[in-house]
Amino acid sequence: MKIFLDTADIEEIRTVARWGILDGVTTNPTLFSKTSGSTYEEVLKEICGITSGPVSAEVVAEDVEGMLTEGRAFAKIAPNIVVKVPMSEEGLEAISRFAEEGIKTNCTLIFTANQGLLAAKAGASLLSPFVGRLDDINQDGMEVIRELVPMIEMYEYESEVLAASIRHPRHVTDAALIGSHIATLPFKVLQQMVHHPLTDKGIITFRQDWEKARKEAAEKNAVGASASGSSRQN
């Protein structure tokens, strides 16, 4: 399963790129609002300089022509830009127009497998069901992934399912087991996946045992050296 980072924070993206596990990045207006000092276009350009994987840039217009204007401008920033378009009647039309123009899209705000099916038919490259937001309203968000993945594979759509709104590491495990093509993760969830209390404790114990053994060996050598020195004097 491919792993995307769900952030507009440049330092987080640089860090995960250094780990060697970054396949792409998703941004949205909320994530951009947490950054400061640069325009959305500048942030996107910088992200595309860090990863050659798909970088999702979200439109805010609600009408087709507005979405097309924003998306075409994003697509000029870098070849790996994917235009993020919300699921709506206008969104479907924009997705199909982008597909005709060869511009890749990520259909966002998907909450049912049927919405995902429509986005795939319209020609979206990525389908983003929001798992966590469904869990928040007491529904099983992962069920959408469970239904959508076989639909996409059975009819051989070119779209990939991207599990979004991921809240904790268990979501990632479940998405991977179901066969989601991609999951996009907040930086914190990626860090949680790296760590385990027994791993962290084990690293400390190995270090302490190594230092203890080296100290004991150094002390033994020192005693041996002083013993052979005094026997030479005699």
Instruction: Report, as residue numbers or ranges, the catalytic residues.
Output: 84
* CA geometry: angle 95, 100, 105, nearest 5 deg: 35
Task: Please tell me the count of residues contacting ligand E4P according to CB under 6 A.
Answer: 11
Please report, as a single letter, which amino acid is at residue 181: H
The verdict on 108 binding ligand E4P (CB under 6 A) reads yes
Query: Between residues 137 and 204, which has the closer beta carbon with respect to ligand E4P?
Result: 137
Please report, as a single letter, which amino acid is at residue 16: V
Query: Residue 185: how many CB atoms within 10 A of its CB?
Result: 26
Instruction: Classify 48 as helix, strand or coil.
Output: helix
Residue nearest to ligand E4P (CB): 165
The verdict on 105 binding ligand E4P (CB under 6 A) reads no
Cβ at position 130, least distance to ligand E4P in Å: 5
Radius of gyration of the chain (CA): 25
Cβ at position 184, least distance to ligand E4P in Å: 5
Scanning 128-136, 173-181, 200-208, 224-232 for contacts with ligand E4P by CB under 6 A, the matching segment is 128-136
Q: Which helix (H) or strand (E) holds 229?
A: helix 197-233
Scanning 127-135, 138-146, 192-200, 225-233 for contacts with ligand E4P by CB under 6 A, the matching segment is 127-135
Q: At what angle do helices 10-19 and 187-194 cross, to 10 degrees?
A: 30
Q: Binding residues for ligand E4P, per CB under 6 A?
A: 6, 26, 28, 108, 128, 130, 132-133, 164-165, 184
